[in-house]
Amino acid sequence: MVNEVIDEVSTVNTTQAGVKAKSDLRVLVVGGGSWGTTVAHLAAHNGTTLLWARDEAVVDAINTEHRNPRYLPSFELHPRLRATTDLQAAAAETDLLIMGVPTGAFRETCAKIAETIRPWVPVVSLAKGFEPETGYRMTQIVEQVLPDRPIGVLTGPNLAKEIMAGSPTAAVIAISEQNIAARLQRVFMTRTFRVFLHHDVIGCEVGGALKNVYAIAAGVVEGRGLGDNARAAIITRGLAELIELGSRMGGEALTLAGLAGMGDLVATCVSPQSRNSQVGRKLGEGLTIEEVLAGMDQVAEGVKAAKVVHDLAQRFELFMPIASQVYAVCHEGSDPDFAEDALLRGRLGHEQSPFEV
């Protein structure tokens, strides 16, 4: 049924969108981690999909065994999914570019793609974070490096292993051009992966970036054994901070209370699969941030995002005690006592009072 829907794209003039019917659709997913591989697997259900990865062993395994042995060893990938290490050749032939690399490599990778990608090919970002040096969102980087094309994000409470296992999942695709969003929506949908449309690119992107910071906080509470009451309070007050800052950055409050904000926050805070909550739990158990990061083979974006959020809170003159404590723990070596600090010793007032300092 999904394949039949994707064919409807051919009945609409999508010259600038670069989207074709199923038989011609060429999707390139850049990034061979767990999330990039999962999205490539979804897209392969609906059209010709190519995954770019740096690791030749991963590429060979996807092409010969239909598995990603490094990040998703227990799951079989769609048999039509192919992989490559030749980024520029793949970019030259794609009709839809999906960027799934970490934030630290995002600009450099876009610059390489810019040498060969055709004009008007849409770009969808999967990355949930900020550029460490500038604090830019990923779509802002795309606008600078790959300008004059539709740009959007795919986000939501999307844990890769659950999606690969076929568990019911909801996501949103946000692109300002809603006619293009409606057609790209079909690229990702399967029987169990449902994709809603959204117009608020900034809100959807900011929600996905900010929630990682609060997942670290919730993980610390769990690691220190402070109980479900404390964790629920951290998640809820974290959501309030997320909505306040996200709104100041140009997102809509309702967006941040939806799948891209609250939904993603809850999944990331409570799931043992979340890298950011894992960081928090290890910190709560007494490890240093250096020890935690040394033991990880994938990027925990919340650590880098904490610095950006700290700077943004100062710029907008916002009182954000939870985010401030995460920054202090991750970047200043402070003891992770922020559950007590933020909840018991922080200033009190009306729960919905403004966040100004």
d(CA 99, CA 121): 13
**Strands 151-155 and 123-125: what pairing?**
parallel
Element (DSSP H or E) covering residue 173: strand 169-175
d(CA 351, CA 347): 11
Residue for token digits 């670290």? 216
Q: Give catalytic residues, as residue numbers.
A: 211
The overall longest dimension of the chain from CA atoms, in Å, is: 61
Burial annotation 87-122 (CB, 10 A radius, 16+ → b, else e): beebbeebbbbbbbbbbeebbebbeebeeebeeebb
Residues 6+ apart with CB under 8 A from 166: 192
- How many of the other CB atoms lie within 10 Å of CB of 83? 25
